[in-house]
Chain A
């Protein structure tokens, strides 16, 4: 089936059993809400346009707190508005799926594709000690599988999961197979606040802990869960990394362009490779560290000013030089630009 990225997000959510979408229009992800506005009523679901991004994420909070699968979607400026709610969702140990179809920033920025929310997504979207899972699809097919995975991971670990896409991927049409997602066993939502029916104690969904000792314990317990996620849920992809001298590290749409550059470099006899993190948190640190034993140099390629560079340096303990090439403001780098950077680095290696 041939579908547009933004629509695949919506279709994959419906197929994951999600029946509630709360959103607010913003370019370049509006097709998603429009798709769901048509489809949700046909499957007995609801697509509700909220009065703001702030309200939308809090409707998602309420819906998830009552035990249902709900999600919201936005683009960069709108995601900033959702950050308060996301922090509360983390503090309340609620599952939740958030989609960010990134555009250029800061401020109102632009409406062209970007990856300039990497740091916001992976380091500090909301206040407080926290992490959440960040999935970066590079193909429309991957949107379909990862969107389904996002709902499962959110339920299993009681954490928000963000699908971090970009305007190009959202607008792109590619063939997609929704059956490719793996099946997982999901825990029962015994904590849901949906009416106790006089059959159990009242459930309280809450992020407030006035006692610092108690708050510390809840944070520590959450970080134990984060350890499990880091052990079990890291996803990545590699292309010709085995014998690579220069290894590109790139994610999302940019990784596809980098792959073309790697192929072109190989044709010129340069041993280039590509490492593509699929989970941006948890970050594939161990795999990158192992690569640092083999490759001579890393090249980070992103549609921003180098937001992932430090993660590569930390993962590899700075054992190899880490260089950067990127475009920002909504400009997509070309394979030739990346190839030129590879050639420059290759020349420098001799």
Chain B
């Protein structure tokens, strides 16, 4: 159905006002897409990084450590049980629970555990058992006989089997500490949870997890745990005259977002204040009965600190890249506005002749630009949202990101529209004041010389390696060098052209035309070469930065961590069980002195036959293959201790002596030297030696290696599984000191640089696409300018296809020149800048170069696409034009 007449008229008026030239509007909309995407992607990326760090850190931490745990007991300083105080723990529990709930933290899982075990007599040997009460446990255990009631306990199947006691019966026990007889009314029998423990039982892993018994050389089950309802547990504690350990735990849901985590951390801070309030019920109970004041324990603030640190490091470069991309898009929109006035110069002149003011012209341009800019900006924002969610660190974005992104989008759109208005008004003012014949200024600015001078000034610190990582200017050096190289090359084109003029005449017409135009090296051709080299050079540069950072990060993680999992062992006298598969023990001696030169160093005592299969592989640029090094170490047949010297330029002698205080002095022989080695956690010198030979030498020197050396287990695999296997095998380690390669990769400095350069690569790819499109559009513009000349050539016999092919070839050659400069110049120049971009200088090795294969592939694809696109666009333009009109327009 056709729209009624007034409606159609209104639509036509709106179209005339808002969309008079759809082709130009489409170009503007594409620029606005880039503007919106660049501006909005920056805050989205920062938000995504914030959520991504949170998710990664959260995944690395045991669930219980990120949650909140408060502990107390009925045990006062006097260490004397008092039944009244034990009984009032119920009220104390209620007060703490209420304090947590009042602050919106939710209802905690409260648990009480009898301080001293209970002894249960069985037919064989007496069994000790633990009495535990946990709120909500009814749904967390599988009851095989009887049921959970308020006046009976659940005993594990193991205890029921050993005692022959079942539901409805009583289990006589006595307290280990006081000897008091305690009768447990049995309500049911449950199945003990097994490893890996469900999250609910994780806080009680000390009671439930099997452990290695060195005496039996096998894994043994823990003491049976009797589960009691809270009120009954208190009554039984009173009966046993034994104190209770109290614990409240609040887990953070597995799907908790970073916003929710921040809210919880904030509430935990307020919780401490609330519970310390003199008027609070908790303080009253603490004061009256001497309960230890419960203090929230959580690693949540530490995790959030890591999140904040990463975001603080990542935000400036990401925002700079996003703002730079947005500024470039705004500049292009300004160029669009200028081009709009020029392309519609006749219209502008006519309107100015009829008295249109620049303000009115600007208003008209603004109305025309508003729709494409708004729609393009919104489309760009949506594109950025999708890309960041799909390709960014996390798909979940914090809540505060959207307002910031929308504000930036609004500001960007407003600035773009204002730029269109200002550029239009300025050009109309010039048109209005031109008066008569306008003569171009004869003053020409020597851009190439100026850029070259700036490049030299900026590049010297980069080449000499004296630039600081905090300096911003050296980062521009690769792009400046690329621009200068492209400028010099394009300026030299006419010289090549004059020499090759004779040879060109023998070429086919299309090739002759294309090469003649390229070698003429006119301003437009030079501009194409320089801008193509710049945009594609940015793609290469960003690719080098991103890929090199990833490679450097992986190498640093390999070197700093040593292996997937490194667990420092607690010094112990007993022999632990066998090592899990894919693990080895490495001895560590820190702070030895190496002579000659008295160089301070650390020593790693390795098992050469095991280490190569366990340690993280070394990047080829960071050192030779580990297997070769270990073979060299193992193959030594001298009478000294063989050693690989790592990262110590001053230790040049082949034979060294290592001393540790006044304890010992050992002769070493250097069998290899490398720059980096797994387990090298600082820039100090590292000696990698054969552990058996080193220990033997120590024993020969009258020292006990077990007393002198620290030991670590290095293992491959997932940390949780490795640590569980170590625990099960009886290896004792300090969980807080366990290192993983993922933890090193997750260092804020490394992660922030990796992500920010990844983002820069995405922005640069957009710039590359714009550059490619720009070249194609430029070719089309050239074709419009040459319509009359082409028509003359056609009337002289040049086939239309040859004219189009010449245009495509010309553009392809210019783009290829730009691309060649981008690869040949920007690639090595980017490698120089890498030296000043070490995100963690304290961790060896230094920055490693990685060729951005994917970026170069994209660049080549783009360079190939340009002539194809040009042929398509110009072919269409050539088919559409009419000869008569062309000659009339030319007149």
- Report whether chain A binds chain B: no
Task: State the A residues within 8 Å of B (CB).
Answer: none
Task: State the B residues within 8 Å of A (CB).
Answer: none
